[in-house]
Structures are given as structure tokens and as C-alpha cells.
Amino acid sequence: MQIKRATLKNFRGYKEEVDIEFQNLTVFIGKNDVGKSTVLEALDVFFNDGKGVVNLDVNDINKVALQEGDSEIIISVEFENLPSEIVIDATNKTSLSDEYLLNSAGNLTIIKKYPNASSSKAKVYIKAMHPNNKKCNDLLSKRNNDLRKIIEQENIECSDRTVNATMRAAIWKHFEENLEITETEIDVTKEDAKNIWVNLQKYMPIYSLFQSDRSNNDSDKEVQNPLERAVQEIFRRTDIQEKLDIVASEVKEKLEDVSNRTLEKLREMNPEIADSLNPVIPNTENLKWAAVFKNVSITGDNDIPINKRGSGIRRLILINFFRAEAERRIREMNAPSIIYAIEEPETSQHAEHQKKMIEAFLELADAPNTQIVLTTHCANIVKKLQYKHLRLIGPDRKITNITKSLLPYPSLNEVNFVAFGEISVEYHDELYGYILEQKKFNQYKVGKETRPYIKLLRDGSTSQEIRILSEYIRNLIHHPENTHNARFSDEELSRSICEMREFIKSN
């Protein structure tokens, strides 16, 4: 399962409902405090229910909504690449499609509503195209006996009345001419429908959030120790689970034998006490195997732990964890689904490391069952990406998919200018060259302020010419050997870029 779309409402700065589309690699860009980290932390709340990095509290409610009397936070996620078969009743296989749990696009939409953010407990709904006929509209919440009654009352043929999924299918087939399919929010936290949500969670991706502003103490999870995350993934693999089940069953069998023999000997001495005792052995599925490896870590010289090294080294270890994961996931097609969310991965990294990092993310995002979600303030990272990867968040909290048609000039330098206000001679060159290519430079020059420019001739002599600001800057960029003119300032570079952008937009 992978995220196709997420929706936020009343969560921090996002009062109005906002939809966000996701790719295998999705990068949020924008200026400080526009809500980039909010998106990543909302997903942590959704996936980890307060057991991840973020705990929901009253300060997460949008303040304007709260003043208006609306205290409900809503976070929903639409999933694609769904499993072909699922188990939602005991061990009986069915499918999301057969249970009418898919939306109109054939995807799974799960909505979590937090009526009171002082508690992280959510009401969970599945929004789906579901039968609305009163005779068959609430089958998922009904118990086995209730489904049998419907089958008997309606005289419905059913091949197996012990399997809920089979009975639901029979009932829906009986009413297939009048199901009244409509978009419905199915509450899966009430009555017998709880089993649906409990079992669906087994198919959900692991969501791992790496924040940029963590503390630095002994209990810190600065890089959320990659080995701990690796342990979680390893124990979710089917082949590992099967081996552990064999071990657990054998241990349980031996424990029962020891316990029974002990009680039998006790019964010879005091039957009354022996009969009052029973061995308590946990079910194999409840064993917490990952806890055995809770202290896994990477240490350096003299056993110095990661969180005591410099922040650049910590993140360098993280980079190479992702590089190793990319290679492993490409080899292992059956790896469990995982989402890595990383805030500002460029923090404390040398420029060369930044390049290698984004290359690792691009490689990892191409691996099966893997998604990467980033925030960044790094223009160099943006230049390594494609338009489809980028989501620009503006001051109004509007989230825009970057496409060439949305830009006055189709360039990642343009994206960096809009997102970060970055000015560069490369961007100036691109704008200037674009106007020349469109044969509109003479039109652009009209009405512009001019200044003298001393041109260096081939024989070493000079001549004075008149240039507009953009020409002046262009000539200085392309002729650094000419030292007869004053260097342009950052303010002049910015002004020239803005003038060319406005001309391109208006023409």
C-alpha cells in the first residue's frame, strides 16, 4: 500500500480542507513556517497514533476553527497499490472490492477524526462506494448470527453460513439490482466492524519520521536509530514470521509439557492446590520479538554511540543507511511497505554529501513498496529533482503541484526563486536567454533605465556603450575578464530577474 493522496482539516495552520498528492518521492518546498513540517507530522499522527514522534494535543487544533466552535481535527489518507486479498474476519480471505470498501477511483480512503485533540484516540472511517439499501447497508458491523438472520428472512442461498465474508457476499448478490451504491463513511470503530480496522492495520505501511530539530540526549532518536527501524521491518517479513511461529510453537509445547508435569507431581502431594493452578503461556502472535533486539545500535571508536557524535556524522550515517536500503529493496521484491519522512535532510551536510543524499533518495524511491517524503530549503536538492516530485506551499497554506504550465518560465531555478527567494546568475541567464529566443528583447528594453558599459575590444582598447540593467549584468557574467565596469550588486541582480519575470508573464 502506498499513499496516493492525503487530506488535512483543522490541523495547525490548515483550517480549510487541503488535498495533497504524493509520488514515490514527494518534496515539500516553501519558506519558513508555511506548513511543510506540519504535513509530515500529521501523517505521523495518522499512522502511529501517538506512538511515533508526534503526540496530538490541544495546540494542534487550528485556532480560528476553535474560536468558531469547531474542535475536530480530520486527517485522511487515500491508498493505492492495494493487496489483492485481505483477511478482516478470523482467517477468511476476501478483498476490499468484494466488501465495497473502495472509493470511486478504486482506492482505499481511511479517515481519522479527532473530536478532542487532548486525546489522540480517533474515530476511524473508510470512505467508500458502499451499498445504501437499508436491507444490506450495514453488513460489516453485523455479527455472524445477525447475518444468518438476514439470510433466513430473505431466503438467500449461501454456500457457508459460518463465514461472515461469504454471507455478506451472498446478501449483496441477492440485492445486486437494488444496492443503491453511494459514497459512504463507514465507521470501523464501532461494534463488530472494529475487526475490519484491526486487521486492515496489518497491511498499512510503516511510517518513519526523522525530524530536523531533535534534542541530543542519551534517549534521543536523532536518526531514530536506523537499526531499530530495520528490526521492525525484518519482523514483519512473512518468511521471518513463519520461522518465528515454528520456534514459538516449539517453545510453547515444551513449556506446556514442563508445566503439566510440575502440576502432576504437585497433584500427588496436594490435589486441591494443583487443581487451582493453571499454566499461563502467551499466544505466539502476541510475542514481542522486536523487544529482544531493542538495544541494537551502531557505535564508533571506544563504543561512542551515534547520538554523541557530531550532527553531520549522525546524518552521514543516515545517508548511507538509505543507500544500503535502496540496494536491499531493489533485491528483495517482497519487502514490506514503508514510508520514510525526513525533514531538511541537507542539515549539517557538506554540498557533496547533499548531492549523494538526494541521489540515494531517488534510488530508494524507485524500489518496490517504498515512498520518500521530504522537506527542504536546499536549492541544490531541488535542482536534482523533477517537477512531479515537488509540492510548493505558499504563505496562504495553498499546496501546489509544480508543473511547467504553472510557471512563467519552466525551470527549477524558477522553483527555487518562488520557494526560497533564491537569486542566481544561472537563473538570470536562463530568463535572458529565453527572452532572446522568443525574439522579444527589443520589446523588453523599451522604457528601461540605462547605464554606461565599457566594452573591452579584441585589440585591448575600450569603447563605451549604453546598456539596460539586464544587458549590463549579462555582459559582466559572460566577460569576467573585463574589469573596467563596477560589479553588479545582489539587489540589482534581483531587480533584473524580477523585471524579466514580469515581462515573460505579461507577454
- Joined grid coordinates for residue 283: 499466544
Q: How do residues 292-304 score in pLDDT, each as one tens digit?
A: 776 666 565 566 5
- Which of these three, 163, 191, 206, is where a domain ends? 206
Contact 245, 284 (CB under 8 A): yes
Asked if the structure places residue 127 within a domain, the reply is yes
Q: Which amino acid is at 401?
A: N
Residue 123 has what pLDDT?
92
Alpha-carbon distance 114 to 132, whole Å? 26
Q: Which amino acid is at 255?
A: L
Number of domains in the chain: 2
Alpha-carbon distance 448 to 467, whole Å? 9
Contact 343, 39 (CB under 8 A): no
What pLDDT tens digit does each residue of the chain (507 aa) get? 899 999 999 999 999 999 999 999 999 999 888 999 999 999 999 998 888 888 888 889 999 999 998 989 999 999 999 988 888 776 678 899 999 999 999 999 999 999 876 666 889 999 999 999 999 988 988 888 999 999 999 999 999 998 888 999 999 999 999 999 999 999 988 766 787 888 888 888 888 887 765 443 334 444 445 566 677 777 777 788 888 888 888 888 888 888 888 878 778 877 887 777 776 767 766 677 777 776 666 565 566 555 566 666 666 666 566 556 645 654 565 556 888 888 888 877 777 778 888 888 898 888 888 899 999 988 888 988 999 999 999 888 899 888 777 667 678 888 889 888 899 999 999 999 999 999 999 999 999 999 999 999 988 899 999 999 999 999 999 999 999 999 999 999 999 999 999 999 888
Q: Which amino acid is at 197?
A: W
C-alpha torsion angle, residues 178, 184, 185, 190 (rounded to 10): -10
Asked if the structure places residue 302 within a domain, the reply is no
Alpha-carbon distance 374 to 455, whole Å? 47
Q: Is the dihedral of CA 58, 62, 63, 67 positive or negative?
A: negative
Residue 219 has what pLDDT?
40
User: Could you tell me the residue range of the domain that residue 427 belongs to?
Assistant: 423-506
Alpha-carbon distance 130 to 133, whole Å? 9
Asked if the structure places residue 194 within a domain, the reply is yes
Burial of 21 (0-12, 13-18, 19+ CB in 10 A): middle
Asked if the structure places residue 93 within a domain, the reply is yes
Asked if the structure places residue 477 within a domain, the reply is yes
**Residue in the block written with cell 534517549:** 219
Asked if the structure places residue 237 within a domain, the reply is no
- Joined grid coordinates for residue 233: 521491518
Q: How do residues 319-375 score in pLDDT, each as one tens digit?
A: 566 556 645 654 565 556 888 888 888 877 777 778 888 888 898 888 888 899 999
Asked if the structure places residue 432 within a domain, the reply is yes
Asked if the structure places residue 69 within a domain, the reply is yes
Residue 44 has what pLDDT?
93
Alpha-carbon distance 475 to 322, whole Å? 44
